[in-house]
Structure 1
Amino acid sequence: MSLKLSGSSENLILPVSDTPKDLDGERHYKDDEKLFKGSAMTKRGAYAAISYMSCAVLLVMFNKAALSSYNFPSANVITLLQMVCSCCFLYVLRRWRIISFAAGESLVISDNSSKFVSLKTLRHTCPLAGSYLLYMLATMESVRGVNVPMYTTLRRTTVVFTMFVEYILVAQRYTSSVIFSVGLIVFGAFIAGARDLSFDAYGYALVFTSNITTAIYLATIARIGKTSGLNSFGLMWCNGIMCGPVLLIWTLLRGDLKMTVNFPDLFSPGFIVVLLFSCTLAFFLNYNIFLNTTLNSAVTQTVCGNLKDLFTIGLGWIVFGGLPFDIWNVVGQLLGFVGSGLYAYYKLVGK
């Protein structure tokens, strides 16, 4: 990404979620910003989706290496470190005036304090922090409730919950083509988990709760991203400084920090490198989640999550191995891939 010095009246900063607005305050896109004539997706939207999937796949690999290869005892501590690093990155980049936190904010303005976001704006983003904490806690608990194939199957239904939440919050309606592609994704997920349909009411309830909180979190990003006046970096900053202390207290109460201090490979060069890559990728992943959701939609973000799962499974099988071959799982994954591809196609051509 290229950067331009902030001495001119027109600043080119890192890509953010704000787009040009017309005289009525409505967002609009120039014809040359579209992927092609008639497309419903802009070039920036396509870049955001591809960047999100790339970062997500790589982050899973490094998290898997830390938790499995090095047997690190606490995923919560990794999440906390990722959040702290994200806030540090944002603070330094904002201080150096490489990025801004508000849509249309000039980087020439000097900063006399470390408060980059007003308290009023911070209060406005409280629902985002609350939905993130609910999403994080529900997701961590849901993993324990069911086996991995069934967890993957039920989590694929998140896209349906996301569509429902968007309809409730912003009255978003979808074409029959989009509904068909989403149905194919969900059908493929159940085919993939057909051999593991062992009913567990508590486990299923946890996963569906996780789906609902995920849908609310993504829909909240889309909504607050359009009403807070913040760009993707600003939303990340507010989310980090509000959720960070809560997550720190949570890890203290659970004893995760004590386990981390006693971890034998804590200062191992290999583990430190893995953790560093994990924190760096988490920063870019969170940025791309905010960017993809605000530029495209919460449903697009969810479908991108489903699409990257196929690449994650393939790369994970190559790097870590241990995945037994099952024809129904392969068929289900392919159906999900086709459904995600159809959704992407309908999104591109505007159907």
Structure 2
Amino acid sequence: MFTKLNRNTSVSRFPSFMVLALFQVAPLSFCYGVDLVMGIAGTGSLSLPMFSALRRLSNFFILVGEQLFLGVVRVASVYASVCLMVFGAAIAAIGDITFDAVGYTYVFVNNFSTAGKALLTKSRLRDQGFTSIELLYYNSVFTLPFLLVIAWITTDMSQVINYSEWTNPMFLVYFIFSCCSAVLLNYSLLQCTHYTSALTTSIIGVIKNVIVTYAGMFVGGDYVFTPVNFTGVCISATGAVMYVWVMYRQNQIQTKRIEIRTLAQPITSQCAGEDALAEQNKKTYSAPFLNGTTATRSRMNPRKVD
């Protein structure tokens, strides 16, 4: 609904449905669908702190994928912060006495699908010429059939249709608000990826999950505290905060460089103009006199006559 309204009212170009768009966006839609399904399955299988810690492994996959497929090379401090997140997640997994192989499998598939989604999003926005609205529209259209099939296989659709709260006005208000929030969230993620990078968008989500990590230790009742696990969770969260600090410092340095270049341009232009004027003043020229002699005059010394 949001994309349809924006299509009719916005100046953003919206190409008609094309087979080319299907081939370009379908892999992204598949990753979106898998990411959503595996994320819900992983959340239900693991405690929130462990789920959040293991989800940080996706940032390492994105970091490697950006360098291999998008040609993005990061500074050493970025690699260090991401590796610290991965190291913390590994320690947390070692100290997890509630290990669930199925839940871990869900999370690892979730990590790969998240990395694929992030890299494909950046590629389509940067290389394929899609705008955020276009990509959101096509991705929604192509993801819907996949999710309907998954829902049909895993859910009794009659329970959804006959759900008693459909007649509750407050439930409908909450439901519509949730749908609109999801659209705005996806649009914001696309805009963030467009203006920054796939890795930055992913790590911003990690920062949000820092709160979920520590709140989840007290909510839900499924987290079992061990010193090793808690240490790993804290190390992983520290790596996420470190990444934000590194990117903030890089942005400050880049801003200062731009300001210096902006201030240096008028000075450079003024110096170039003064040099040109001095060079012109040094030039001499000859002028014939009426008596046939030639006088060589200089702008610096106009009275000199040969």
TM-score scaled to structure 1, two decimals? 0.61
Match of 2:3 among 90, 114, 130: 90
Cα offset, 1:261, TM superposition: 2.0
Q: Greater CA deviation, 236-245 or 335-344?
A: 335-344
Match of 1:159 among 48, 59, 62: 59
Cα offset, 1:203, TM superposition: 3.6
Match of 1:100 among 8, 12, 15: 12
Match of 1:204 in 2: 104
Decide whether the 8 Å contact of 2:52 with 2:212 is kept in 1.
no
Structure 1 194/124 Cα, relative in aligned 2: closer, same or farther at 3 Å? closer
Cα offset, 1:255, TM superposition: 3.3
Match of 1:307 in 2: 207
Provide the rounded CA distance (Å) in 1 between the counterparts of 2:44 and 2:212: 20
Match of 1:132 in 2: 32
* 2:141 pairs with 1:229: no
Decide whether the 8 Å contact of 2:82 with 2:243 is kept in 1.
yes
Cα offset, 1:191, TM superposition: 5.2
Provide the rounded CA distance (Å) in 2 between the counterparts of 1:257 and 1:204: 28
Match of 1:185 among 82, 85, 91: 85
Match of 2:118 in 1: 218
More helix by share: 2
Identity over aligned residues, as a percent?
Answer: 27
Decide whether the 8 Å contact of 2:53 with 2:233 is kept in 1.
no
Provide the rounded CA distance (Å) in 2 between the counterparts of 1:332 and 1:270: 42
**1:93-131 CA-partner distances (Å, limit 9, x unpaired):** 22123x5256xxxxxxxxxxxx64544334322221122
For structure 2, the residue ranges without an aligned partner over 5 or more in a row are: 254-306
Decide whether the 8 Å contact of 1:101 with 1:232 is kept in 2.
no
Structure 1 126/323 Cα, relative in aligned 2: closer, same or farther at 3 Å? closer
Provide the rounded CA distance (Å) in 1 between the counterparts of 2:216 and 2:39: 21
For structure 1, the residue ranges without an aligned partner over 5 or more in a row are: 1-87, 103-114
SS state of the match for residue 166, structure 2? coil
**1:262-308 CA-partner distances (Å, limit 9, x unpaired):** 32223323322221221111011101111112221111112111100
Match of 2:70 among 153, 162, 170: 170
TM-score scaled to structure 2, two decimals? 0.69
Provide the rounded CA distance (Å) in 2 between the counterparts of 1:184 and 1:256: 43
Match of 2:177 in 1: 277
Matched AA of 1:221: T
Match of 1:288 in 2: 188
**1:155-204 CA-partner distances (Å, limit 9, x unpaired):** 12111111122233123332220111112323444555664245444443
Matched AA of 2:12: S
Decide whether the 8 Å contact of 1:125 with 1:228 is kept in 2.
no
Q: Greater CA deviation, 160-169 or 211-220?
A: 160-169
SS state of the match for residue 164, structure 2? coil
Structure 1 269/312 Cα, relative in aligned 2: closer, same or farther at 3 Å? farther
Decide whether the 8 Å contact of 2:49 with 2:214 is kept in 1.
no
Match of 2:275 in 1: none
Cα offset, 1:209, TM superposition: 1.9
Structure 1 269/195 Cα, relative in aligned 2: closer, same or farther at 3 Å? farther
Decide whether the 8 Å contact of 1:131 with 1:213 is kept in 2.
yes
Provide the rounded CA distance (Å) in 2 between the counterparts of 1:215 and 1:226: 16
Provide the rounded CA distance (Å) in 2 between the counterparts of 1:253 and 1:327: 38
Provide the rounded CA distance (Å) in 1 between the counterparts of 2:231 and 2:169: 41
Match of 1:261 in 2: 161
Cα offset, 1:142, TM superposition: 3.4
SS state of the match for residue 305, structure 1? helix
Runs of 4+ in 1 over 6 A off after TM superposition: 314-318
Structure 1 199/334 Cα, relative in aligned 2: closer, same or farther at 3 Å? closer
Structure 1 181/139 Cα, relative in aligned 2: closer, same or farther at 3 Å? same
Decide whether the 8 Å contact of 2:98 with 2:224 is kept in 1.
no
SS state of the match for residue 60, structure 2? helix
Matched AA of 1:121: A
Higher relative contact order (CA 8 A, sep 6+): 1
